[in-house]
Amino acid sequence: MDRFSWSNGLLEINETLVIQQRGVRLYDGDDKAKLDVGVALLSTHRLIWRDVKNHECCIAMPLSQIIFFEEQAAGIGKSAKIVIHLYPVPANKEPGPYQHSKYPYIKLSFKEHGQIEFYRRLTEEMTQKRWESTSLSQPIPTGTSPQVGRKTHAVGIIGIERKIEQKRKETDKNISEAFEDLSKLMVKAKEMVELSRSIANKIKDKQGDITEDETIRFKSYLLSMGIADPVTRETHGSGTHYHLQLAKQLGDMLQAPLELLSPEDLVNACKMFESLKLPLRLRVFDSGVMVVQLQSHSEEEMIASALDNVSDKGSLTAEEFAKLLGLSVLLSKERLLLAEKMGHLCRDDSVEGLRFYPNLF
């Protein structure tokens, strides 16, 4: 509870109210806070709580204080709660109801329900992090406040200084975001961590040369964990540049394992084959199946050979065709279907299975 600061409860410029819920009691960790039941308000920037009876008793906490949160189901005689785990108190925090707390988390107890919607909205705001794109400046009145509105906008030197500060914070955030998930994997992925640290430092300090290999490895690590890599994308060109490099690598050594490559990147890289004049093509079948094949495989050749094989044997199933050609069943079926689509084959579908014949119709 020591993360909260006294507040007048007024929404600031760029801050929007998302949801409010009555009947909320605050808990400092597991202990009931020395406050009554009040109204909890969630805005794009802060979590605000106001005493119902005494409107002047109002506290607020920036959403950036929240590490994560979870639901606590209601029990017998106990209301449902949302438990919010918090970062340590920042040094410049304004005074609030608690000087100090032994707990790194608080709870919101919903005595009049509403926890489901509140939780949902909180999740949304914590995902979107709208407070990062719009800094708070002078306050403006909300509907609940009787105060008069004030003119607010950042002008002059103050405005410029604020913008610079904002940009700096954003850059910091981007870098740390790229490592958010990484922190959980640190224990397991030693090499990954060392490499990423080294590169991040180089980028930040603009020191030394980052090798191409390092860059690709680094990006592939991040992407394999599903992290967008704003840092590296910005400094090393657009995503497609990365895909280009990847495509080149793929073209060279198709068999060599590329560790932790996301399927999306593989597909994007494969789409570059033609423009890179590589002897490979990405082919998409009607069913959505995608295959990488040698350029020499023109469609006509495939169909002609399929027709030959089928005519030769009278009829073929996908499995028989696969065996004949030494291909996977999936691929051989796609070929047969293609030949059927072109009108060269027709099908016999019975309890015995699916069989293809030359189209004698």
Partner 1 sequence: MSFEWPWQHSFPPFFTLQPNVDTRQKQLAAWCSLALTYCRHHKLYTLDVMEAQESPMFNNKKIERKLSMEAIQVVFEELRKKGNLEWLDKNKSRCLVMWRRPEEWGKLIYQWVSKNGMVNTVFTLYELSNGDDTEGEEFHGLEDWMLLRSLQALQAEGKAEIITMDDGKGVKFF
User: Residue 19 or 346: which CB sits closer to partner 1?
Assistant: 346
CA 340 remoteness from chain centre: 42
The yes or no reply on residue 346 touching partner 1 (CB under 8 A) is yes
CA distance 331 to 334: 5
Contact call for residue 340 and partner 1 (CB under 8 A): yes
CA–CA separation, 186 vs 195, rounded Å?
Answer: 12
Nearer Cβ to partner 1 (95/343): 343
Nearer to partner 1, 243 or 355 (CB): 355
- Ramachandran quadrant class, 23 (left: phi over 0; alpha: psi -120 to 50; beta: rest): left
CB of 310 to partner 1, least distance (A): 11
Question: Using an 8 Å Cβ cutoff, are 44 and 117 in contact?
Answer: no
Q: How far is CA 108 from the centre of its chain?
A: 27
**Cα distance between residue 28 and residue 98, in whole Å:** 9
For 70, the 3-state DSSP assignment is strand
Residue 202 or 347 with smaller CB distance to partner 1: 347
CA angle 139, 144, 149 (to 5 degrees): 35
Instruction: For the segment 265-324, give every residue that binds partner 1 (CB under 8 A).
Output: 315
Q: Which one of the spans 63-71, 114-122, 160-168, 339-347 is the region binding partner 1 (CB under 8 A)?
A: 339-347
The answer to the question of residue 355 lying near partner 1 (CB under 8 A) is: yes
Which one of the spans 194-202, 267-275, 318-326, 344-352 is the region binding partner 1 (CB under 8 A)?
A: 344-352
Q: Which of 30, 146, 279, 361 binds partner 1 (CB under 8 A)?
A: 361
In angstroms, give the least distance from the CB of 174 to partner 1. 51
Task: Name the residue nearer to partner 1 (CB basis): 285 or 357.
Answer: 357
- φ/ψ bin of 258: left (φ > 0), alpha (ψ from -120 to 50), beta (otherwise): beta
Residues at the contact surface with partner 1, assessed by CB under 8 A: 315, 340-341, 343, 346-350, 355, 357, 359-361
